[in-house]
Amino acid sequence: MRFLCDVHISYKLARHLISLGFESVHVNEILDKSETKDSDLSKYADQNDYVLISKDSDFRDSFFVKQTPKKLIKINLGNISNQELIKIFNANIESIQKLDSKPSFLIEISQDHINLTEL
pLDDT of residue 70: 97
Q: Where are the beta strands (DSSP E) in 18-90?
A: 23-26, 51-54, 71-76
User: Residue 43: pLDDT above 90?
Assistant: yes
CATH class of 2-118: alpha beta
Task: Tell me if 14 sits within 8 A of 29, measured CB to CB.
Answer: no
Phi/psi at 33 (nearest 5 deg)? 55, -135
Q: Name the pTM for this structure.
A: 0.95
Instruction: Place 111 in a pLDDT band, splitting at 50, 70 and 90.
Output: confident
